[in-house]
Amino acid sequence: MLNKIKEAAQYIQDQTQGTPDIGLVLGSGLGVFADQIESPKAIRYEDIPYFPVSTVAGHVGQFIHGELYGKKVLAMQGRFHFYEGYSMQEVVFPIRVMQVLGVERLILTNAAGGVNSSFSAGDLMIITDHYNNMGTNPLIGPNDDTVGDRFPDMSAVYDPTFIKIAKAAANELGVQVKEGVYAANTGPMYETPAEVKGLRILGVDAVGMSTVPEATVARHAGMRVLGISCITNMAAGMLDTPLSHDEVITTAAKVQEQFISLLGRIIETIE
């Protein structure tokens, strides 16, 4: 696997120049942020050796490399999910590639369902911690000590300094943000009302089907991580309406301006 990761990283390196200062993973309906990147170089996943291919609506399926606020950025327009049939190792393959490319700061974004009753569709939530409800994780199996520790500490997956930067950026822009715990389920079905009630009892504020594997591997790799969820719908049982992926994409589109402004200011501020 490590040889495949290095070969994929070499392909990207051959298409770009310099070490990325920041890596980005843009979730469902949020890939539009990549349009802000200057001097963009698009690299389609299907052209990268050993790379999976995005199969979900709202995930373009390419890297965008370029500059933003004087920083080199490498953005994923679309990610891979466990429910697509990929293994956990395939889901986190791009994060391992970013590690080889020298990425030390990673911003993860996603579309999520609101579990906290004070949330509303369209809210942005800074992730303070996560709850892995997927029944597995990408660190299971042999460990390469040159990549990360066998038993990595997960007491601060989401960097406290980055959280402060994100909150300050939101305050400067007048963007209302929430903070909370994100839970990841396998999907692809949405949660039942009973499952959502259980997550609320556990202290979860938002739920989705991604991010936790990537954040876990990023911390294993020693990266500093920031996570932002776009609350695109209220979770099952919160409102008397059925859930759909169309609603996710529609709500993400409505908050694009706020999301772009906030993420841009965060990138500008991060050292």
Considering the candidates 8, 28, 121, 218, report the single residue annotated as catalytic. 28
- Label residue 126 exposed, middle or buried (CB < 10 Å: 0-12, 13-18, 19+): buried
The answer to whether 170 is a known catalytic residue is: no
Pairwise CA distance, residues 5 & 250, whole Å: 35
CA 57/CA 55 separation, integer angstroms: 7
Selected catalytic residue, list 8, 88, 184, 209? 209
Of the residues 54, 110, 229, 233, only one is catalytic, namely 233
Q: Of 84, 191, 195, 214, which one is the catalytic site residue? A: 84
Cα→Cα distances 96→113, 166, 238, 268, Å = 27, 25, 37, 25
Q: Are residues 242 and 122 in contact, defined by beta-carbon separation less than 8 angstroms?
A: no
Is 245 a catalytic site residue? yes
20 is written with which tokens? 């990325």
The catalytic residue among 45, 59, 134, 206 is: 59
Give me the catalytic one of 11, 69, 83, 131.
Answer: 83
| CB-based contact 157:215 (threshold 8 Å) | yes
Catalytic residue selected from 9, 45, 54, 81: 81
Q: Is 130 a catalytic residue?
A: no
Catalytic residue among 67, 245, 247, 253: 245
Catalytic member of 110, 185, 210, 229:
210
Residue 83 annotated as catalytic: yes
Please count the CA atoms within 13 angstroms of the CA of 43 that sit on its side-chain side. Answer: 21
Instruction: Tell me: cis bond preceding 52? Omega within 30 of 0 counts.
Output: no
Given the residues 111, 166, 183, 238, the one annotated as active site? 111
Annotation marks residue 28 as catalytic: yes
Rounded to 10 deg, the angle between the 256-269 and 160-173 helix axes is 130
Is 111 an active-site residue? yes
Would you please indicate which residues are annotated as catalytic (active-site) residues?
28, 59, 81, 83-84, 111, 209-210, 233, 245
